C-alpha cells in the first residue's frame, strides 16, 4: 500500500511542469464544483423555470378603481411586437458580457508576465486547471448564476405584488355595468371582474419590478465593472468610459422603451434597475473579489539556522554582579595590606537585660 502511494507521488512529481512556483495543489476544487456549485446552479435554473413557464406560483390578484386612467392605456400588443423584444434583450444580455469577458481574459493572459498570473491548480495525477480556463469559467459561471437569480427576484416580485401594467384595463375588459361602477372612486375587488383573455390578464398583473429592465441593468453593471477593473488602456483615456456609457445607455434604453409602450410604469423600471444593479454589485465585490486574481499565500520560509557556539564558551554574556560578601572580603584585604586594624562593628544602642537580672527582679 505504501509502495503504491509512493509510486503515485513519484509519477505526479515527474508529470508536473518545470515551473513549480506557479502551481498549487487542491483536492477540493473538483468535488466542490460537482456536488455543491452545480447543484446550486441547477436549483436556481429550475426555480427560474417554474416562475417563468408554470403556474406553480399563482399571481396575487389586486383590485382596481373604476375608470382609472393610470391603467387605461391602450394595449400595446404582444411582447414580440415591441421595439425591444425579449429575444433581442436576452440575446444581448447573454452575448455582450460573454464576448467581453472572453476578449479581456485571452488578451490579459497573453499580455501579462508570468509573475503576475495566477497559479495552475493541480488536483490529481492528470488534472490541471489552466489560469485562463479557470478565470473564464469562474467569471462566466458567476454571471450566469446572477442572471438566473435576477430572473427569480423579478418574477417573485411580480407574483407577490400583482401590480397592474398601464394597459391592465384594456386587457382586463371589465363590464362596468355589471360591476355597478358609478364613479371613478369606486374600488372593484371582484376576482372575476375581467372578461378578457385570461393569459393577457395574468400577464398584465405582472408589472413590478420590470424583468427586462432588471436583466438589462444587471448585464450592463456586471460588464461595466469588468471593463473598469480588468481592462488596462495605456494609450487612451476615453475608450473605457465610452464603452461603459454605451452599455449603460443600452440598459436605460430598454427601460425607456418599456415605459413609452405602456408595458411598465416608471417605478417598475426603476425597481428593476435597482434589483439588477444590486445583484451585479454584490456578486462582483463579494463573490469574485472585483475580478482580482486569487491570492495564494507564499510558503513560510524556514527559520534561519543558528550555528552552535564552540565548547567551553558561555552561551550568554551577562554583566557581572558583585555580591555583598565579595565586597566585604575585598575591603578586609585592603585593610590588611595597609596594616590597619579592622574596626569591629559598633555595639547596638539598646542593651537587653541579662537573664540574672530578670531572675533577681522576680
In the predicted model, is pLDDT for residue 22 greater than 70? Answer: no
pLDDT tens-place string over residues 270-297:
999 999 999 999 999 999 998 887 655 4
Q: How far apart are CA 236 and CA 250, in angstroms?
A: 23
Lowest mean pLDDT among 32-36, 73-77, 194-198: 32-36
Q: How confident is the model at residue 233, as a pLDDT? A: 78
Work out the end-to-end distance of the chain between its first and last CA atoms, rounded to an integer number of angstroms: 99
In angstroms, rounded to a whole number, what is the distance separating the alpha carbons of residues 246 and 351?
A: 109
Alpha helices in the chain (DSSP H): 2-15, 29-32, 38-53, 86-111, 131-161, 168-172, 176-179, 198-204, 211-230, 239-260, 266-282, 324-337, 355-361
> Which range, of 117-121, 166-170, 237-241, 280-284, averages the lowest pLDDT?
117-121
Contacts with 74 (C-beta within 8 Å, 6 or more apart), sequence order: 167, 170, 262
pLDDT at 30: 74
Per-residue pLDDT tens over the stretch 169-207? 999 999 888 888 888 888 888 888 899 999 999 999 999
Neighbouring-strand partners of residue 44: none
The CA distance from 202 to 172, in Å, is 9
- pLDDT at position 206: 94
Write down the domain spans for the chain. 21-290
Buried b (16+ CB within 10 A) or exposed e, 304-314: eeeeeeeeeee
Q: How confident is the model at residue 359 (pLDDT cuts 50, 70, 90)?
A: very low
pLDDT score recorded for residue 318:
52
Amino acid at each position: 500500500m505504501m509502495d503504491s502511494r509512493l509510486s503515485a507521488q513519484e509519477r505526479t512529481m515527474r508529470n508536473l511542469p518545470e515551473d513549480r512556483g506557479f502551481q498549487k495543489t487542491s483536492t477540493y476544487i473538483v468535488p466542490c464544483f460537482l456536488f455543491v456549485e452545480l447543484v446550486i446552479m441547477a436549483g436556481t435554473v429550475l426555480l427560474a423555470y417554474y416562475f417563468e413557464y408554470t403556474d406553480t406560483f399563482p399571481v396575487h390578484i389586486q383590485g382596481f378603481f373604476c375608470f382609472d386612467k393610470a391603467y387605461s392605456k391602450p394595449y400595446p400588443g404582444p411582447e414580440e411586437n415591441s421595439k425591444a423584444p425579449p429575444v433581442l434583450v436576452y440575446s444581448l444580455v447573454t452575448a455582450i458580457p460573454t464576448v467581453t469577458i472572453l476578449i479581456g481574459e485571452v488578451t490579459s493572459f497573453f499580455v501579462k508576465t508570468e509573475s503576475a498570473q495566477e497559479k495552475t491548480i493541480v488536483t490529481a495525477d492528470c488534472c490541471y486547471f489552466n489560469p485562463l480556463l479557470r478565470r473564464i469559467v469562474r467569471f462566466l459561471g458567476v454571471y450566469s448564476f446572477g442572471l438566473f437569480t435576477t430572473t427569480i427576484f423579478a418574477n417573485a416580485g411580480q407574483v407577490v405584488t400583482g401590480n397592474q401594467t398601464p394597459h391592465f384595463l384594456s386587457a382586463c375588459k371589465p363590464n362596468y355595468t355589471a360591476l355597478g361602477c358609478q364613479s371613478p372612486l369606486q374600488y372593484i375587488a371582484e376576482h372575476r371582474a375581467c372578461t378578457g383573455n385570461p393569459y393577457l390578464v395574468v400577464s398584465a398583473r405582472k408589472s413590478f419590478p420590470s424583468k427586462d429592465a432588471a436583466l438589462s441593468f444587471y448585464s450592463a453593471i456586471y460588464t461595466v465593472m469588468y471593463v473598469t477593473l480588468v481592462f488596462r488602456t495605456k494609450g487612451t483615456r476615453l475608450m473605457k468610459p465610452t464603452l461603459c456609457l454605451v452599455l449603460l445607455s443600452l440598459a436605460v434604453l430598454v427601460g425607456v422603451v418599456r415605459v413609452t409602450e405602456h408595458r411598465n410604469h416608471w417605478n417598475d423600471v426603476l425597481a428593476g434597475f435597482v434589483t439588477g444593479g444590486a445583484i451585479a454589485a454584490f456578486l462582483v465585490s463579494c463573490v469574485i473579489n472585483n475580478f482580482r486574481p486569487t491570492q495564494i499565500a507564499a510558503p513560510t520560509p524556514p527559520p534561519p539556522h543558528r550555528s552552535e557556539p564552540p565548547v567551553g564558551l558561555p552561551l550568554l554574556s551577562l554583566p557581572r554582579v558583585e555580591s555583598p560578601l565579595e565586597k566585604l572580603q575585598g575591603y578586609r584585604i585592603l585593610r590588611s595590606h595597609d596594616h590597619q586594624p579592622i574596626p569591629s562593628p559598633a555595639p547596638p544602642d539598646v542593651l537587653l537585660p541579662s537573664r540574672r537580672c530578670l531572675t533577681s527582679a522576680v
